[in-house]
C-alpha cells in the first residue's frame, strides 16, 4: 500500500524516474504535477560532494533571487536611533532596541528574518536560545549583522534567501511558487546554483554537484540533468 494519496500517485506517474530532465522541463513538470489547493512552494534539493563534518567543507551563503520568493517576509530589526528610522523607511515590520530584545525574551517571534546593527549584538547575543534553533539568529556571514540595516531589509524583502548544507551534504532551498511562470523559476534556480558553485570549497575532490531535484511542497521530485544545468549557470 502506498502511503501517498491518489493525487500524488497520479502526479508521480507523469514523471519518468529513470530520466534526467532539463531544468526547463523539470519546472514545467513540477507546475503540471502540483495538485494542492494552495499555492505550493517550489523547492530544490541539491546534493553536494562535500563532507560537512569538516569545517572547510561547510557550504553556506546567501543569494537574492531575481524574481523573489513569492513569500511575504516579515523582517525584524534590532537597531536604535537613525538606524532604526532607516530600517522602518526600508520597510521593516518590527524595529526596536532594548524593547525588542525584551519582547523576544518574553516569546515574541512573529518574524521570518532578524537583522541587527553591530552595536546591538551584545544584547541580541543573549537571544541565542530563542533565535538559534529557529534559524533566526543574526549572523555577519549571512549579511544579517550589518551597519547598513536598511539595505539588508530591502534585500530580505526582495527575495534574499540563505542556504546551508545539512549533515547529509544536501542543500534545501526554495525558489518560488507554483504560480510563478516557468522562466522565473528557472532564473531563480540558476541564480541559486551559480551562487553555490562560487561557494565551492577548495578542498573538494571529485564531483561537487551530485544530484539536483526540484519539487513542489506536496508533489513528487523531478531529477535534473546535471550537465545541462551546470553549463547554464556557469
Neighbours of 15 (CB within 10 A): 20
> Rounded to 10 degrees, what is the CA torsion of 124, 91, 148, 110?
20
47-62 pLDDT, tens digit per residue, is: 999 998 888 999 989 8
Structural contact between residues 233 and 193, judged by C-beta atoms closer than 8 angstroms? yes
Q: Which three cell numbers stand for residue 178?
A: 507554483
pLDDT tens digit at each of 234 positions of the chain: 345 678 777 777 888 888 899 999 999 999 998 888 899 999 999 999 999 888 899 998 989 999 999 988 999 999 999 999 999 999 999 999 999 999 999 999 999 999 999 999 999 999 999 999 988 999 998 899 999 999 999 999 998 998 999 999 999 999 999 999 999 999 999 999 999 999 999 999 889 999 999 999 888 899 999 887 777 766
pLDDT in the model for residue 2: 45
Domain boundaries, the chain: 6-69+160-233, 75-157
CB 77 within 8 A of CB 84: yes
CATH number of 6-69+160-233: 3.30.190.20
- Whether the CB-CB separation of 77 and 153 falls below 8 Å is answered with yes
Helices (H) and strands (E) in the chain, counts: 9, 9
pLDDT digits (tens, 9 = 90+) for 149-195: 999 999 999 989 989 999 999 999 999 999 999 999 999 999 999 99
Assess if CATH 3.40.50.790 describes domain 75-157: yes
Radius of gyration of the chain (CA): 19
Amino acid at each position: 500500500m502506498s502511503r501517498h494519496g491518489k493525487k500524488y500517485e497520479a502526479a508521480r506517474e507523469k514523471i519518468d524516474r529513470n530520466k534526467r530532465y532539463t531544468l526547463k522541463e523539470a519546472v514545467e513538470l513540477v507546475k503540471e504535477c502540483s495538485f494542492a489547493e494552495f499555492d505550493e512552494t517550489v523547492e530544490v534539493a541539491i546534493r553536494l560532494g562535500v563532507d560537512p563534518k569538516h569545517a572547510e567543507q561547510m557550504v553556506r551563503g546567501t543569494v537574492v533571487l531575481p524574481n523573489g520568493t513569492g513569500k511575504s517576509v516579515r523582517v525584524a530589526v534590532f537597531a536604535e536611533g537613525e538606524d532604526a528610522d532607516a530600517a522602518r523607511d526600508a520597510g521593516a515590520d518590527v524595529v526596536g532596541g532594548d524593547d525588542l530584545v525584551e519582547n523576544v525574551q518574553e516569546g515574541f517571534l512573529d518574524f521570518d528574518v532578524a537583522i541587527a546593527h553591530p552595536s546591538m549584538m551584545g544584547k541580541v547575543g543573549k537571544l541565542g536560545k530563542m533565535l538559534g534553533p529557529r534559524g533566526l539568529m543574526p549572523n555577519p556571514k549571512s549579511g544579517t549583522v550589518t551597519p547598513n540595516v536598511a539595505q539588508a531589509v530591502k534585500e530580505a524583502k526582495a527575495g534574499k534567501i540563505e542556504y546551508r548544507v545539512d549533515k547529509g551534504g544536501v542543500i534545501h532551498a526554495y525558489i518560488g511558487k507554483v504560480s510563478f511562470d516557468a522562466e522565473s523559476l528557472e532564473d531563480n534556480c540558476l541564480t541559486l546554483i551559480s551562487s553555490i558553485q562560487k561557494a565551492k570549497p577548495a578542498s573538494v575532490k571529485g564531483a561537487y554537484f551530485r544530484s539536483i531535484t526540484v519539487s513542489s511542497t506536496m508533489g513528487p521530485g523531478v531529477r535534473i540533468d546535471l550537465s545541462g544545468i551546470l553549463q547554464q549557470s556557469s
